[in-house]
Amino acid sequence: METKQQTSQDYYLDLESRHGAHDYHPLPVVLAKGKGVYLWDVDGKKYYDFLSAYSAVNQGHCHPDIIAAMKEQAETLTLTSRAFHNNKLGEYMKFVTAYFGFERLLSMNTGAEGVETAIKISRKWGYLKKGVPENQAQIVVCNNNFHGRTTTIISFSTDPDTKAHFGPHTNGFTHIPYDDLEALKQTLESNPNIVGFLVEPIQGEAGVYTPGKDFISGARALCSQYNVLLITDEIQTGIGRTGSLLAVCGDCTCEDACEQQPATYIRPDILILGKALSGGTYPVSGVLCDSEIMDVIQPGQHGSTFGGNPMAAAVATKALEVIKGWGFTPKCKTSWRGF
């Protein structure tokens, strides 16, 4: 009887199946090399990468400038923890806040950590600044959202496969249909304890669902009217993925095109970034907002060992410099708070 010969890919697929958690169901392709828009598998077959690691490598695989910055920093200083200052973090914070037009940055590692950070900031802002009674804060989220897989985040997912058998779930979230301004208005009108509206400018896991052109701008106006923080999750849509620096920048932000068609920059109160923030080379996420919001966080109330480490700061700075060099800039940095 003839037996099937095991290929190189079969070997690696078998290793993962035998020794790893079965938490993903990827395509049976084992990749070994990447450069720019291309990938190669272990058998040397070449592919175009249209997925871009869920938009984590918007700058292209192994971008030479980002890799060079990573190597240089890796040979100098990788981690101090936030028990000390380091000579990269402050410069990175200055660059990022100026680039995106905010006053403060809280640097974390993964996108889910960025979302968790935004949730904590907005809740505490609600208690200290809006006057919401303790433990009564609500955050509005959309049906079919995807913001990560931590316990709190799956608690407000509407995908039963994501949350089944992982309870008890975290409360404090109110759902509305995506792309439904009337539902958002009614919800904000009816509940004075709402502190934030957490939204993807384009829904990812829901099927790359792009809302109507007035949804995010309308949400901005409603959040300002009812003193609610607009929190945009641009982990997947940000940093050049949609043809603009951020999805909320509108249809056009590049300098040349804007001479004919000016962009509309809808400024959130809290901006969450990740993925391409490091060009796909290192886990880096960030939460940006102004001092009036960020300053509710005090020492010991949030952070992580790796958050804001010098390696992350050097890599993320270079990754953003690459994007900026391609002409991606917000056209307007005017706050809509108090609209």
**Domain coordinates of the chain in residue numbers?**
82-325
Is residue 4 annotated as a catalytic residue, yes or no? Answer: no
If you count them, how many residues does the chain have? Answer: 339
Is residue 269 annotated as a catalytic residue, yes or no? Answer: no
SS3 94: helix
Write down the pLDDT at residue 325: 93
Is residue 88 annotated as a catalytic residue, yes or no? Answer: no
Q: How confident is the model at residue 258 (pLDDT cuts 50, 70, 90)?
A: very low
Q: In whole angstroms, give the CA distance from residue 109 to residue 2.
A: 50
pLDDT single digits (tens) 137-194: 999 999 999 999 999 999 999 999 999 999 999 999 999 999 999 999 999 999 999 9
Residue of 100, 146, 156, 328 with catalytic role: 146
Q: What is the pTM of this model?
A: 0.93
Yes or no: domain 82-325 corresponds to CATH 3.55.40.20: no
Mean of the pLDDT values across residues 21-50? 96
For 25, the token pair is 């169901």
Question: Looking at residue 261, what DSSP letter applies?
Answer: S
- Residue 338, pLDDT above cutoff 80: no
User: Side by side, which strands form the sheet with 38-41?
Assistant: 31-35, 38-41, 46-48
Nearest to 314 by CA among 4, 70, 14: 70
Residue of 100, 102, 124, 233 with catalytic role: 233
- Residue 118, pLDDT above cutoff 50: yes
Q: Which residues contact 298 (CB under 8 A, 6 or more apart)?
A: none
Half-sphere exposure of 72 (CA within 13 A, CB side): 11
3-class DSSP string for 7-43: CHHHHHHHHHHHHCCCCCCCCCCCEEEEEECEEEECC
Q: In whole angstroms, give the CA distance from residue 53 to residue 82.
A: 29
For 239, the token pair is 């940093």
Mean pLDDT of the chain: 91
Write down the pLDDT at residue 7: 76
Residue of 275, 306, 318, 328 with catalytic role: 275
Reading phi first (left if > 0) and then psi (alpha if -120 to 50, else beta), residue 240 is in: left
pLDDT single digits (tens) 265-314: 799 999 999 999 999 999 999 999 999 999 999 999 999 999 999 999 99
